[in-house]
């Protein structure tokens, strides 16, 4: 994922997206560089118009904040609600995966 972020950062700064620049950005972030992943990303982005891809990407919209009318009493009521799944139900679900 850091390689994609590096490419987006380079695009935003209007820098060339090449192996050396991506490797430098990833190194600067403190992550180790996998040269094979860098080469694969640069090759994959060769024919991509990043600006168009960004415009076409779905945008996540943040949900509106809930009104804060109740304060602490509302938080206490929510804490008292039983959870949707008990531990036993969760374990049954896991056993179905491996059963």
Domain ranges of the chain: 2-56
> pLDDT tens across 82-91, in order?
555 555 555 5
What is the pLDDT, as a whole number, of residue 99?
43
Give domain 2-56's CATH architecture: Orthogonal Bundle (1.10)
Of the spans 33-37, 53-57, 58-62, 71-75, which averages the highest pLDDT?
33-37
Q: Return all residues near 19 (Cβ < 8 A) that are at least 6 apart.
A: 35, 38, 39, 42
> pLDDT tens across 1-48, in order?
899 999 999 999 999 999 999 999 999 999 999 999 999 999 999 998
What is the pLDDT, as a whole number, of residue 57?
83
Tell me, yes or no, if the pTM score tops 0.75.
no
More confident of the two residues 98 and 59: 59
CA angle 62, 65, 70 (to 5 degrees): 160
With tokens 């896991």, the residue in question is: 94
């Amino acid at each position: 994922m850091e390689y994609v972020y590096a490419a987006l950062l380079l695009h935003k700064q209007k820098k060339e997206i090449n192996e050396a620049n991506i490797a430098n950005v990833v190194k600067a972030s403190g992550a180790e560089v996998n040269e094979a992943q860098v080469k694969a990303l640069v090759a994959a982005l060769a024919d991509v118009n990043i600006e168009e891809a960004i415009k076409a990407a779905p945008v996540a919209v943040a949900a509106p904040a809930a009104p804060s009318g109740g304060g602490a009493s509302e938080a206490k009521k929510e804490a008292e609600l039983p959870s949707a799944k008990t531990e036993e139900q969760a374990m049954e679900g896991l056993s179905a995966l491996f059963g």
